[in-house]
Chains A and B, each alone.
Chain A
Amino acid sequence: AQRVTQPEKLLSVFKGAPVELKCNYSYSGSPELFWYVQYSRQRLQLLLRHISRESIKGFTADLNKGETSFHLKKPFAQEEDSAMYYCALRANTDKLIFGTGTRLQVFP
Chain B
Amino acid sequence: DVKVTQSSRYLVKRTGEKVFLECVQDMDHENMFWYRQDPGLGLRLIYFSYDVKMKEKGDIPEGYSVSREKKERFSLILESASTNQTSMYLCASNDRVKDTQYFGPGTRLTVL
Contact yes or no, B58 A95, CB < 8 A: yes
B: number of interface residues (CB 8 Å): 25
Looking at the complex, which one of B4, B35, B94 makes contact with A94 (CB distance below 8 Å)? B94
A-B contact count (CB 8 A): 45
Interfacial chain A residues near B41, Cβ < 8 Å: 100
Quick one: CB contact mask for B77-96 with A, threshold 8 Å, 1 for yes? 00000000000001010101
User: From DSSP, what is the main secondary structure of chain B's interface residues?
Assistant: strand
Contact yes or no, B101 A98, CB < 8 A: no
Contact yes or no, A101 B42, CB < 8 A: yes
Looking at the complex, which one of A9, A43, A94, A98 makes contact with B43 (CB distance below 8 Å)? A98
List the B residue with the shortest CB-CB distance to A6. Answer: B42
Q: Which residues of A approach B to under 8 Å, CB–CB?
A: 6, 9, 32, 36, 43-46, 49, 51, 86, 90, 94-101
Interfacial chain A residues near B50, Cβ < 8 Å: 94
Q: Is B61 located at the chain interface by the 8 A CB criterion? A: no
Interfacial chain A residues near B94, Cβ < 8 Å: 94
Q: Which residues of B approach A to under 8 Å, CB–CB?
A: 4, 31, 33, 35, 40-45, 48, 50, 58, 90, 92, 94, 96, 99-106
Interfacial chain A residues near B106, Cβ < 8 Å: 43
Contact yes or no, B99 A32, CB < 8 A: yes
A108 to B108, CA, bound (A): 31
A73 to B100, CA, bound (A): 21
Interfacial chain B residues near A98, Cβ < 8 Å: 35, 42-44
Most buried by B among A51, A96, A97, A99: A96
Interfacial chain B residues near A99, Cβ < 8 Å: 42
Check A46/B43 contact, CB under 8 A, given A94-B94, A95-B48, A95-B58: no
